[in-house]
Amino acid sequence: MRKFKTESKKLLDLMINSIYTNKEIFLRELISNASDAVDKLNFKSLSDTSIQLNQDDLAIHVSFDKDTRTLTVSDNGIGMTADELEKNLGTIAHSGSQEFKQENAESQGGDVDIIGQFGVGFYSAFMVASKVRVVSRAFGEDVAHVWESDGLEGYTIEDGERSEHGTDVILTIRENEPGENGEPGENYDTYLSEWGLKNLIRRYSNYVRYPVRMMVTKSREKERPADAPEDYTPEYEDYQELETINSMTPIWKKRSSDVSDEDYAEFYKSTFHDFEDPARTVSFHAEGALEYDALLFIPQRAPFDLYSKDYEKGLALYSSNVLIMEKCADLLPDYYNFVRGVVDSQDVSLNISRETLQHNRQLKAIAKRVEKRVTSELENMRDNDREAYEKFFENFGRGLKFGIYSSYGMKADELADLLLFWSARENKMITLAEYAKAMKDGQQTIYYAAGDDRDRLAKMPVVRGVLDRGYDVLLLTADVDEFTFQAMRGYTAKNMPKIYEDDAAREAAAKAVEDGAEPEVEDRSLELKNVATGDLDLATEDEKKDAEEATKEHGDLFDAMKEALGDKVEKVAVSALLTDAPACITTEGPLSLEMEKVLARGPEAEMGDMPKSQRVLELNAKHAVFAKLVAAQEAGDTDKLARYAGLLYDQALLVEGILPDDPVAFASAICDLM
């Protein structure tokens, strides 16, 4: 017996037990090696005209024998000499494929695509096999050679027989192992079953460029006997037939013009287990320093677990048509976690197991390009198929908003223009850019109101006050909405009509337009402001003056109401915005009432250390109720004034969709008044 070169025991143990995390990928590795062997012979025939190959004969065969517990992967590729067996299989981590690729780097071009480059894939066979026997006959030689090992200390190499060039890798599959301590055992019989092998081939090696063939059991109806009675029941028999298991040509490698929408839809539904066609399909090929193919799908609807912690995002990553990862999370940002699809690149650097990607610039470059293409497709849908986009946004808009919030606003430039919000004035969903285009002259703020019900928000006194002054209000009803706006801090509206600082500049610009010049535009930074804050500054000068006079005249009233309400409010003040409502609640500082409500539903609320908004009770000095308050103050009826203050405060909370602290006391106070 020959000893493995390098520190065999430690390194081989590492190959079998540490590098590979999933035993079933051994078949992928062996088929990839077989494909490389066929590729090498095919490439050699291109440079040596004396070698005549029938392309239809190039194939990989998989077979199994339950009685002997053997699994065989055969190819009719270039084969190996005794020296090559010693070199490639006797030295762990030596890669004949990598060496071949380096030797032919200048001449191979696109004619050959070597998959295995690390030399350890073969040893994954020992994860499932107690013994591995390799019978190989090099092309042009008359003698075959046999390499055999139990994967422990060493191996043997002897002369053998094989009818033609190529290699057989024969695995003696381990016996099943029972589970221990409640853990499931290992069912190695899966690798000796027709169904199990077909499933693995289609899962990992479906797009290997050569046919992977296997004898499969099929059923057919027996010929009806000539003397069969009228009530004859058909009989069936099983038979064996050689079948190509893999499809070979992946759909993403085909030209888009050669693939119909129905083909893409069928691939999407069958691959990603959806019953609806995708909303959008994006197929593209990148060339240059980094070459890859991508096929992306935007679903019609969100999967039920999209926003759960168990949901796994990612695109299927292939390298030279071989599946490396079913869900490569690094190829998608979290806010595009709904995208399904495939990326196939032979240039992505993998680690030696082909299971874990190295974090490198190639992967980042692909991810960046994928993100741009998804963004571009969404923009196209938004601008040219608004109905479809609104349906998409209803399903996936939450993730886009959270992408801005979770990045602390760093992704606002990429995502802000994809967001949709309900316009109180237009009664439809609009973008921030559309809001900006419809703004009044001189308006520098985007106004919004946040709550859980659109109809209730539209009826809020502060919203009506802003609308009455000719400004639109966006109605935000998702719990993440206001946090998103807080993270954005503002919005840059592009290509807005230029605002001129003086009349002379404005007149000069107008004259230039009359003479045929294009109107000047500029990017304008707009503030995002909640109408429930007390600093909107939308009142006219007369309204501001009236509010100031009422504040001075009735300062004692406000102090008394503040004392009655205690720490429920920061202060009581006069509103210059209210028209027909007697009072409203506004806030000071960054935390609004809606944000407080959202936080109160979170896990932090159980700890009892929740931040509170700084509430302000604003009164309408022109309302009849205000006169009642003044009368109670002037009469010195502090009990009535305190009761009125509590009623107005609780009433204002109800308008905001917040229950009073003591609903029973509120109901009793109403009854007392009645």
Collapse the DSSP code of 154 into the 3-class scheme (helix H, G, I; strand E, B; otherwise coil) and give the result.
strand
Which tokens hold the place of 196? 């199990």
The order of strands in the sheet holding 129-137 is 2-3, 154-160, 144-149, 129-137, 166-173, 70-75, 60-65, 212-221, 236-244
pLDDT of residue 82: 92
Domain 2-216: assigned CATH number: 3.30.565.10
pLDDT of residue 544: 84
Look at residue 227 and tell me whether its pLDDT is greater than 90. Answer: no
Other CB atoms within 10 A of residue 596 CB: 16
Mean pLDDT over 463-476 rounds to: 93
Mean pLDDT over 126-133 rounds to: 93
**509 near 520, Cβ under 8 Å?**
yes
Look at residue 93 and tell me whether its pLDDT is greater than 50. Answer: no
In the block, tokens 């109403």 appear at 670
pLDDT of residue 18: 58
Cα three-residue angle 83-87-89, rounded to 5 degrees: 110
Residue 60 amino acid letter: I
Burial 301-310 (b: 16+ CB within 10 A, else e): bbeeebeeee
Q: What is the CATH topology of the domain spanning 541-673?
A: Four Helix Bundle (Hemerythrin (Met), subunit A) (1.20.120)
**Where is mean pLDDT largest: 66-80, 316-330, 627-641?**
66-80
* CA–CA separation, 65 and 193 (whole Å): 9
pLDDT of residue 538: 83
**616 vs 513, higher pLDDT:** 616
* CA–CA separation, 25 and 355 (whole Å): 9
CB contact set of 270 (below 8 Å; sequence gap of 6+):
none
pLDDT of residue 630: 92
Look at residue 403 and tell me whether its pLDDT is greater than 90. Answer: yes
Of the ranges 26-40, 245-259, 339-353, 552-566, which one carries the lowest mean pLDDT score?
Answer: 339-353
**590 vs 116, higher pLDDT:** 590
* CA–CA separation, 28 and 214 (whole Å): 15
* CA–CA separation, 407 and 487 (whole Å): 8
pLDDT, mean over the chain: 86
Collapse the DSSP code of 64 into the 3-class scheme (helix H, G, I; strand E, B; otherwise coil) and give the result.
strand
Task: Give the residue from 307, 311, 284, 312 showing the smallest Cα distance to 296.
Answer: 284
What is the enclosing helix (H) or strand (E) of 555?
helix 555-565
Mean pLDDT over 205-233 rounds to: 91
Q: What percent of the chain has pLDDT over 70?
A: 90
CB contact set of 367 (below 8 Å; sequence gap of 6+):
330, 331, 332, 333
Q: Which class for 109: exposed (0-12), middle (13-18), buried (19 or more C-beta within 10 A)?
A: exposed
Domain 421-530: assigned CATH number: 3.40.50.11260
For residue range 267-281, list pLDDT tens digits in order. 999 888 888 999 999
Residue 353 binned pLDDT confidence (cut-offs 50, 70, 90): very low
For residue range 627-646, list pLDDT tens digits in order. 999 999 989 888 999 999 99
pLDDT of residue 603: 63
**Where is mean pLDDT largest: 117-121, 240-244, 537-541?**
240-244
Residue 95 binned pLDDT confidence (cut-offs 50, 70, 90): very low
pLDDT of residue 49: 78
pLDDT of residue 211: 95
pLDDT of residue 21: 65
pLDDT of residue 77: 93
Within 15-56, residue ranges assigned H as helices are: 26-47
Q: What percent of the chain has pLDDT over 90?
A: 49
pLDDT of residue 358: 53
Of the ranges 71-75, 303-307, 362-366, 639-643, which one carries the lowest mean pLDDT score?
Answer: 303-307
For residue range 156-190, list pLDDT tens digits in order. 999 999 999 999 999 999 999 988 887 888 899 99
Q: What is the pTM for the complete model shown?
A: 0.76
Look at residue 74 and tell me whether its pLDDT is greater than 90. Answer: yes
Other CB atoms within 10 A of residue 289 CB: 9
The domains of the chain are located at 2-216, 251-384, 421-530, 541-673
Task: Give the residue from 84, 28, 38, 78 showing the smallest Cα distance to 59.
Answer: 38
Residue 283 binned pLDDT confidence (cut-offs 50, 70, 90): very high
Look at residue 397 and tell me whether its pLDDT is greater than 90. Answer: yes
* CA–CA separation, 450 and 466 (whole Å): 14
* CA–CA separation, 128 and 659 (whole Å): 64
Residue 436 binned pLDDT confidence (cut-offs 50, 70, 90): very high
pLDDT of residue 264: 93
Of the ranges 140-144, 319-323, 412-416, which one carries the lowest mean pLDDT score?
Answer: 319-323
Other CB atoms within 10 A of residue 83 CB: 12
Look at residue 20 and tell me whether its pLDDT is greater than 70. Answer: no
* CA–CA separation, 8 and 328 (whole Å): 32
CB contact set of 653 (below 8 Å; sequence gap of 6+):
585, 659, 660
Mean pLDDT over 386-400 rounds to: 95
Look at residue 652 and tell me whether its pLDDT is greater than 70. Answer: yes
Cα-based torsion angle of the residue sequence 246, 249, 251, 252 in order, rounded to the nearest 10 degrees: 120
Other CB atoms within 10 A of residue 298 CB: 22
Residue 445 binned pLDDT confidence (cut-offs 50, 70, 90): very high
Q: Which class for 501: exposed (0-12), middle (13-18), buried (19 or more C-beta within 10 A)?
A: exposed
pLDDT of residue 508: 85
pLDDT of residue 14: 62
Residue 111 binned pLDDT confidence (cut-offs 50, 70, 90): very low
Q: Domain 251-384, CATH 3.30.230.80 — does that match?
A: yes
Residue 668 binned pLDDT confidence (cut-offs 50, 70, 90): confident
Look at residue 354 and tell me whether its pLDDT is greater than 60. Answer: no
